[in-house]
Amino acid sequence: MTTTIIWIAVALVAVGLYLSWTAGRLDRLHARIDAARAALDAQLLRRASVAQELATAGVLDPAASIVLYESAHAARQAEPEQREVAESELSQALRAVFPDPEAVGEVSGAPGGTEAIGELTQAVRRVPMARRFHNDAVRAARAVREHRVVRWLRLAGHAPFPLAFEMDDEPPQPLTTEGAGAR
């Protein structure tokens, strides 16, 4: 009888440790999502800011300046529900303004253009990486949250279900080639 009680106690402790470890892991994953989202938001804000600065610097033709400025402004001012669409539209505007290396070369030739293109190149290269880190963290948290035990015992608590950030983050081709900012 005592042996049975000991085995039951050992089993309960093991189950308790497993549940505690799983809840801690889920908490760490949610913290990772929060950090990745903050990094993504910072990179998106940086990209929109650099695009706005470039649009108002006078190095682009007026039509391109207006398109780029309006898209960057919309991305910076977008409500959370519309953020993915606004950021995708900024990506599309950047591709429209810089369709080929000649467009980048024209901007680089203007005073201050080389620095502006360099900053923009860095900003557009970092956004896909930050989005990938965020979406990887979301995927890992979702995988843990889909386990039956996690759902049944509500180990996620009241944390909202993590959502991936889906947007068109394809940078303009001339800004992805090596040395685009060093013209």
Residues 152/77, Cβ–Cβ less than 8 Å: no
- Is 8 within a domain? no
- Is 115 within a domain? yes
Supply the pLDDT for residue 60: 85
- Is 5 within a domain? no
- Per-residue pLDDT of 106-117, as tens digits, reads 888 888 778 888
Sign of CA dihedral 49, 55, 60, 63: positive
Alpha helices by DSSP H, listed for 57-111, are: 62-77, 83-97, 101-109
- Is 120 within a domain? yes
The yes-or-no verdict on residue 53 having pLDDT over 60 is yes
Residues 98/172, Cβ–Cβ less than 8 Å: yes
Give dist(CA 27, CA 24) in Å, integer.
Answer: 5
Specify the number of domains making up the chain: 1
- Is 67 within a domain? yes
- Per-residue pLDDT of 30-48, as tens digits, reads 999 999 999 999 999 999 9
Predicted structure pTM score? 0.84
Q: Residue 94: give the domain boundaries.
A: 18-182
Closest CA to 90 of 118, 130, 55: 55
